[in-house]
Structure 1
Amino acid sequence: MNQNVQQAAAPGLGIEVSSKVPMHWYNLNADFPEPMPPALDPATDEPVRPADLEPLFAKSLIAQEFSSERYIEIPQPVREVYSLWRPSPLRRAVRLERALGTGARIYYKYEGVSPCGSHKPNSSVPQAYFNKIEGIERLTTETGAGQWGASLAFACALFGMGSETWQVRSSYEQKPYRRLQMGVYGSQCHPSPSELTESGRRLRGQFPDTTGSLGMAISEAVEVAAKDPRTHYALGSVLNHVMIHQSVIGLELLDQLEEAGEEQADVVFACAGGGSNAAGMMFPLLGQNLRGGSTTRLVAVEPAACPSMTEGEYRYDFGDVAGMTPKLMMYTLGADFVPPAIHAGGLRYHGMSPMVSHAVHLGLIDPIAVDQERSFEAGVAFARTEGIIPAPESTHAIAGALDHVTSGAARPGEVVVIGVSGSGVLDLAAYDGRF
């Protein structure tokens, strides 16, 4: 390893960071009108304590998980890495507006400019950093579409750590470039369920032809981390600290709308699988709604093939198939639910983030479901007008917004914002036969 690479792996480089890169994360737990139900210990059904999570997570991340502070300071080394792509752009979709013949003003916040091509590094970078400074050498994780696995591999490479990823088998086979991306960053990637873990072998025995699920992959990654004191587990969605990290998206959006001369967004659309992208786009705006500063409507768009919020139950459930995680109060289709092998692999989770679920349960966020064929139609329309090929997950948000505009529901002059969570350039096979 040469000197430059060694320096890049150090926790901080003293890089001057633009003032437009957020200095704090936002925590919606400070503004919820009712407190969230706690996570439960699966053995006792008592509320999980911070100490219960220490075998898997860094202490700083655990503190964020239980925090009720409105703003949490972003460490300078994390802001230095963020500055590689943040702030991400907010663009006016003028060509799309013209093609639709709408009087609404459509904007999109584009997270595909990150080195990994998605919003996921917003959380992978701080998770790697906080584990690094506590002396952890390796992180394990699961991934659906591969965006999170690649993002964690990227972050671990920058902080001189190892990483190992279990990718949902259907996505592993459909999306070879994601696992190649992980390999370039130095991460091992395995199809899940695998023969490498007890839970994986058991699942393969029970379901020999399974396409896999995020719940299965989580079980494998958690099992490996729990057995090695030098290894921790990193989660790309669902948990509170991930929602907090992703808030940089919405915090930037608020500033950018003001710079564009807009008083507020009237309606925001974001795709939702485990909840990280939707939370990032929406929570800072929801906080303003709750504090009386705005009246933005927030719409979380999930796939009709995995409709946890629109067809699931709001109850306690495990976050994984093997029952190794705490029980979470969330909208769920059941931990053993295995969705179809849809190309929007990042939206194939059986449950929804407890924070997003709580907001939906309180009527603060509106969930809708979109069929995948419709979502790809919208993605192609977006690409042919704005030039960006969106990630399959992002096409759901685009479809929700386009349906809103073309149905006549949008008023002239209404400000519509779409969260485009990532680039689809590595997922072009998903578009094959759809144009």
Structure 2
Amino acid sequence: LDCQVYMVKCSYEQKPFRREVMRTYGAAVTPSPSMATEIGRKILADHPDTSGSLGCAISEAVEMAAKQDGYRYVLGSVLNQVLLHQTIIGLETKVALDKYGIQADMIIGCAGGGSNLGGLISPFMGEKLRGERDYQIIAVEPASCPSLTRGKFAYDYCDTGMVTPLQKMYTLGSGFIPSASHSGGLRYHGMSSILSQLYHDGLMEARSVEQTAVFAAATEFARVEGILPAPESAHAIYVAMEEAKKCKETGEEKNIVFGLTGTGYFDMVAYEKFNNGTMTDYIPTDDDLKQGFDGIPRFPGNEF
């Protein structure tokens, strides 16, 4: 096989065309958690009806790569080297703004593991840290998986199977498995250590949004701009629209920059549910979150 992909189970089911694109290019795609790995079997034994999560898929992919000669695990988010690669997004954005003499006041991006937002804000945050310019930076996450807004700042595992090194980050606990929302790319229990530290230091804000509000904003955006956004990007769109409405009310002028990365054409099952009025919202209770928090490693220096 050219490539073995472990795809989060709910995304595997909700985004069949995304799955088929990968298969067309030669990848073998397995819904995670699966019976193909030891950690997958353990997760299914503990949570037989689980819809999976990015944390589960990471565990299975790492196990498969470690056991197969010639295999390498390719990380898609969270860690520092991924944010470094993603900075091309922010660098190109800044060059474009500078070219037209536009000074951004507010920069908004969706946040799951953090690579999308981290890449977008990096050159602007550099200016902010050096005291050259100030920006209001907002991370937008799903209310169903509120790592920044309701998580704990602690050392935790990056995956559900607890095989990865510990990271200091905002986390809901590696054992927390989010509800089966339609923004699969944001269903991660933790957050980039870089973004977590910036948030902890008060250099950026975070907001959580329910998915029906997100899809309402995405639908309005599509009808006005002619672009069908991915659900993940639509989180940033929602907050950008809300901030623009505030400016309209106050008469204040602001240049609002938001990250629009990804098409929604692989997410038509989600749009269909929204259009049919069958989409629902889920916000975890404090008891739901406590189960995840209870699994965060306890050791001296990791108090939270």
TM-score if structure 1 supplies the norm length? 0.61
- What is the CA RMSD across the aligned residues, in angstroms? 1.3
* Contact preservation (8 Å) 1:247, 1:281: yes
Match of 2:92 among 225, 233, 252: 252
Q: CA deviation at 1:302?
A: 0.4
* Contact preservation (8 Å) 1:317, 1:327: yes
Structure 2 residue 234 is matched with structure 1 residue 392: no
**In structure 1, what is the Cα distance between the partners aligned to 2:138 and 2:84?**
19
Q: CA deviation at 1:293?
A: 2.5
Deviations 1:283-342 (A, max 9, x none): 111011112322111101000010000000000110111110001100000101011100
Partner of 1:336: 175
Q: How does 1:257-272 map to 2 (within 5 A)?
A: 257-262=97-102, 264-272=103-111
Deviations 1:238-274 (A, max 9, x none): 0000000000011011110012221x21001100000
Amino acid at match of 2:93: L
Misfit runs of 4+, over 2 Å: 407-413
With over 3 angstroms needed to count, the CA separation of the structure-2 counterparts of 1:355 and 1:233, relative to structure 1, is same
Match of 1:239 among 53, 61, 79: 79
Structure 2 residue 248 is matched with structure 1 residue 423: no
With over 3 angstroms needed to count, the CA separation of the structure-2 counterparts of 1:277 and 1:226, relative to structure 1, is same
Structure 2 residue 229 is matched with structure 1 residue 375: no
**In structure 2, what is the Cα distance between the partners aligned to 1:296 and 1:272?**
18
Aligned residues: 274
Partner of 1:358: 197
Amino acid at match of 1:187: A
Q: How does 1:54-73 map to 2 (within 5 A)?
A: none
Match of 2:45 among 205, 208, 228: 205
* Contact preservation (8 Å) 1:404, 1:410: no
Task: Give the percent of matched residue pairs that are identical in Structure 1 and Structure 2.
Answer: 48
TM-score if structure 2 supplies the norm length? 0.87
Structure 2 residue 59 is matched with structure 1 residue 219: yes
**In structure 2, what is the Cα distance between the partners aligned to 1:206 and 1:422?**
34
Amino acid at match of 1:200: G
Deviations 1:31-67 (A, max 9, x none): xxxxxxxxxxxxxxxxxxxxxxxxxxxxxxxxxxxxx
**In structure 2, what is the Cα distance between the partners aligned to 1:411 and 1:383?**
26
Partner of 1:168: 8
Structure 2 residue 132 is matched with structure 1 residue 293: yes
Other structure's SS at 1:317 match = strand
Q: CA deviation at 1:228?
A: 2.6
Q: CA deviation at 1:206?
A: 1.5
Other structure's SS at 1:393 match = helix
Structure (1 or 2) with the larger CA radius of gyration: 1
| Residue ranges of structure 1 left out of the alignment (5+ in a row) | 1-137, 139-161
Structure 2 residue 117 is matched with structure 1 residue 284: no
Other structure's SS at 2:173 match = coil
Q: CA deviation at 1:434?
A: 2.6
| Residue ranges of structure 2 left out of the alignment (5+ in a row) | 276-304
With over 3 angstroms needed to count, the CA separation of the structure-2 counterparts of 1:410 and 1:295, relative to structure 1, is farther
Partner of 1:302: 141
